[in-house]
Structure 1
Amino acid sequence: MASITVLGSGSWGTALSIVLADNGHDVLLWGRSKKAADEINSSHTNEKYLPGITLPESITATIDLEKAVGHGDTLLFVVPTKAMRAVLKEVNGLLDRPVMMIHASKGIEPDTYLRVSQIIEEEVPAEKRRAVVVLSGPSHAEEVSLRQPTTVTSSSLNTEAAEEVQDLFMNQHFRVYTNPDLTGVEIGGSLKNIIAIGAGMTSGLGYGDNAKAALMTRGLAEIARLGMKLGANPLTFAGLSGLGDLIVTCTSVHSRNWRAGNMIGKGQSIDEVLNEMGMVVEGIRTTKAAYQLAGREEVDMPITKGLYDVLFNDKPPHEAVEELMGRVRKREVEDLKLGESDPLNDFEP
């Protein structure tokens, strides 16, 4: 049994706490809200984020970060990417020993273009980190909390650490694979949120399955192009943290990013959407970061650019779709710009 602190008491942090508690681990769940912590401790529920779900009684909650950091030798970060730096700075000031650092947040930081693992490495010195591991894949918190079958990926530059995290989470409902491609896993998990906003937007505009299929397929090509430019293995994007996560996020009403895009497609402003949802929509911030990063790396990402214009330049959604459909003709497979040594070259167009 391990003592694990989960930092972030939203839907995903709470759902992962359930998995860990089911596996017999000592789980302490940290968040900013005293009301939420009291509810978890007294009623064993977190109705704001997981309505109707009863949590294992072994899960306890606290708002005391010092207590949370001192709880064990494994910290699982499940906070929004925009809050990650601030939380890490606080944690670093409290750490007096090396700990396993896992994150399950999906996003890229605007302006710095850093993935979450890179933010962790910037804010927490190496002597306080046993390893950095990402947990990612097609996984809605609502379904995980109901113990429905879910499969994800554990990735790290440290193979033993990835396998250790695999063992922490693996059970009959929650299957975990390992993948050494940390860059690809984080890029896939982050950028699929952009495409999910687009998928929701097409539905909000009244378009059907044809448009959604086209958006998802071409979106995956964009994700792969940028990921490969950053050194990722192209086959990662055909796996759980690429295609798998893209499917689940673009096709489900559980997805905050899909819901946000759907509301935008129906004519609501970003501010109206965020106020109504009352939750973080990672894809909005990631769209800005990916647009900036694509420009720096000179990678063609027309869907990302179109969504950036809708979200940040007030372009009407239907105009962005019309521009995408009116782009110059080109071949499908050459988009990936694969070299002779790339494994995907074995596929016929």
Structure 2
Amino acid sequence: MQQPGRAAEIKAIGIGKSFGSFRALDNLSLNIGRGEFLTLLGPSGSGKTTFLMILAGFVQPTEGKLFSDGTDITDRPAEQRAAGMVFQGYALFPHMSVEANIAFPLKVRKKSAADIKKRVGEMIERVGLVGHAKKLPSQLSGGQQQRVALARALAFEPGVLLLDEPFSALDKSLRGQMQAEMKRLHQETGTTFVFVTHDQSEALALSSRVAIFNHGKLLQVGAPDEVYDRPDNRFVAEFLGEINMLPLKGVKPADNGSTGLCEDRAVNMHCKAEKVRGDAILAIRPEHMSIAREAAAGENGIAATAIASTYLGAATKLDLTTRQGAKVTVSVPNEVAAAALSKGNSVWLTWPAEKGFLLPDGGQ
């Protein structure tokens, strides 16, 4: 077990979990770096929360091993793991004041009264609850209750902080505030954070790395820009945001990556055709496509017709159909969308070679 105040390094090897005939986790191996902010992202039932519960010691894996700082903790009970936990519903003691809630894990660990008083004061200040120490949870707002839960979980300086969708009950404005607070606390404490969410934007905004789950499998792990701009498969590409999928024929290596035919027009990608040859899917995020009167020689582009628009305030989402019937969505400035719709005729959709990526044809 790591020393208090020292961020943990965690290693999962071949972790599997079955509940009867249901396979919740399947052969999961993952290294969680010391002091990193790792988000477990996926839809409901993907296995992310099961893995978090295994990290916490609340659920035993069916197979596999779990190590913390090189020590096998697979069979170690939750109370013997130096892990803090913040739940979806906060789980504060309703009859205890703010300071008593924060002091609780320190008392359990038999810290001295002087040490407890000092640490509680530090945590109350750190999470911005000065002036609220004597209040009960029922006298606090949702955001304030969440701050108490964070302070309590960090008070004993755990090696890892495990967070199970802690912001799901907060409104959008408060979620944004708490996300900023979470990022600041991570930077200040240096603790290893493992965060569960199904909110893609939250995962991309907060994390050092994102681990994407589906059907009990870990599909991809990487930095936010890596998983967003270079997804390994179609599920990851679609789960992380809107994506345009265009049929691509004759994919082959080229000098700066790969090339192929999209709507009978040659297009170039900076990514290499390592996983796909022949027919494939060209994937491009809506914000990476532009509307032009024509495509310059050698520029990636296809012809399309605007059919509908959605006003988003700062920009407009434009729905288009290509000459071969593919549906495309583009996010463009409002004046560009208005011009494209008013003409009612064909425009060109263009994109940089580095913004298109290849996926195998067939949806995997």
* TM-score of the pair, normalised by structure 1: 0.29
Per chain length, whose mean CA-contact separation is higher, i.e. which structure has more relative contact order (CA < 8 Å, sep 6+)? 2
More strand by share: 2
Which has the higher Rg, Structure 1 or Structure 2? 2
* TM-score of the pair, normalised by structure 2: 0.28
